[in-house]
């Protein structure tokens, strides 16, 4: 086993992206390696301008629920997603973008925040990354 956390970021929902980044940043802060494998709707969040666009997974109420949650998060000093992503990269976190999803969903490399992406790969890339990890999650 390696001292590593690997998370599949399948959902593009705001709260689930927060969960993935909080766990990944916590892992990095504790001296572990951390990798995020973005696929399907999660990959949409890596598009330029897409990080904050995800809906709330429950109680979205046509966007009102998301606004309420973001307001509450700001009050208790939860960092915005952009800051959490910057911290993740600065702490040495690795991001893998799913090439198959890019093909299926018609996403071009130039549409993505390429400065965040360390590698483009398919299921074999994920399996290689996760096979010896102590923590693997699907969010």
Question: What is the DSSP secondary-structure string of 90-118?
Answer: HTT-EEEEEHHHHHHHT--GGGB-TTT--
Number of domains in the chain: 1
* Rounded to 5°, angle at Cα 114 from 7 and 58: 45
pTM: 0.91
CATH number, domain containing residue 121: 3.40.1260.10
Give 28-62 pLDDT, tens digit per residue.
999 999 999 999 999 999 999 999 998 887 776 66
What range does the domain containing 106 cover? 4-11+36-138
Sign of the alpha-carbon torsion through 33, 37, 42, 45 = positive
Q: List the end-to-end C-alpha distance of the chain, in Å, as a whole number.
A: 21
pLDDT tens digits, residue range 74-114?
A: 788 789 999 999 999 999 999 999 999 999 999 999 999 99
In a domain, 29, yes or no: no
Residue 55 domain flag: yes
**61 part of a folded domain:** yes
Is residue 24 in a domain? Answer: no
């Amino acid at each position: 086993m390696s001292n590593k956390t690997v998370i599949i970021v399948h959902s593009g929902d705001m709260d689930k992206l927060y969960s993935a980044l909080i766990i990944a940043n916590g892992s990095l802060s504790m001296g572990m390696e951390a990798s995020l494998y973005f696929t399907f709707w999660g990959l949409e969040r890596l598009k330029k301008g897409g990080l904050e666009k995800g809906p709330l997974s429950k109680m979205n109420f046509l966007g009102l629920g998301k606004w309420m949650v973001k307001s509450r998060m700001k009050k208790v000093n939860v960092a915005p997603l952009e800051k959490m992503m910057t911290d993740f990269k600065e702490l040495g976190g690795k991001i893998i973008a799913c090439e198959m999803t890019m093909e299926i969903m018609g996403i071009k490399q130039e549409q993505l925040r390429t400065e965040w992406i360390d590698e483009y790969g398919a299921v074999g890339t994920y399996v290689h990354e996760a096979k010896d990890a102590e923590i693997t999650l699907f969010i």
